Amino acid sequence: MKKSNFPTPQDAEAAFYEALETADLEAMMEVWAEDEEIVCVHPGGPRLAGFEQVRAGWAQILGSGQKLKVHVSNQVVLSGMMLAVHSVHENILVQGETRPRAPVAATNVYLRTGRGWRMILHHGSPAPPEARVPVESPKILH
């Protein structure tokens, strides 16, 4: 049974990234719904479905010994009474490296349950470099 109660999707997301940075598997799995329909896709990895596969995937990542610092940016939030979708860029710095890695475009989906908000999907993909939007000169009407 889950011990944590996340009153908002933002609380669940904050706990998710804190667990990632501290490499705490139990804290990570507190964020996830205990459901066989949960799905996780790590960048370049296979689709993990169900609680046991998702847990095993996170155990491998968090057990790697790498210490991560994650800065979330470009957040777009869509939310309703029972479901919230967060699209973010994860800017990850691995301890010991001097330059951040390319951002990860991630989609996090949260479901409102009887015990608070829980993650039901995390999908991360390498983000392409941001395209610069050309600045147009003003149009003059004659």
CATH number at residue 49: 3.10.450.50
Q: What is the pLDDT of residue 133?
A: 56
Whether 138 maps to a domain, the answer reads: no
Joined together, the tokens standing for residue 56 give 């095993």
DSSP 46: P
In the predicted model, is pLDDT for residue 123 greater than 60? yes
Q: Does any domain span residue 76? A: yes
Report, as an integer, the average pLDDT of 36-50.
96
Q: Output the pLDDT for position 137.
A: 61
Domain assignment of residue 119, yes or no: no
Q: Is residue 118 assigned to a domain?
A: no
* Domain total in the chain: 1
Give CA 17 to chain center in angstroms.
Answer: 7
Please state, in angstroms and rounded to a whole number, the distance separating the CA atoms of residues 91 and 70.
6
Q: Is 96 left (phi over 0), alpha (psi -120 to 50) or beta?
A: left
Mean pLDDT of 100-124: 94
Judge whether 93 lies within some domain.
yes
Residues 72 and 17: beta-carbon distance below 8 Å:
yes
In sequence order, what are the beta bridge partners of 116?
A: 6, 113
Q: Span 39-57, mean pLDDT?
A: 96
Lowest mean pLDDT segment, chosen from 40-49, 115-124, 126-135: 126-135
Asked if residues 111 and 83 have their Cβ atoms less than 8 Å apart, the reply is: yes
Instruction: Please give the average per-residue pLDDT across 94-100, as a whole number.
Output: 84
pTM for this prediction: 0.86
Domain that residue 59 falls in: 9-107
**Residue 37: count of CB within 10 angstroms of its CB:** 11
Instruction: Classify each residue of 74-95 as buried b or exposed e, where b means 16 or more C-beta atoms within 10 Å of its C-beta.
Output: eeeeeeeeeebebebbbbbeee
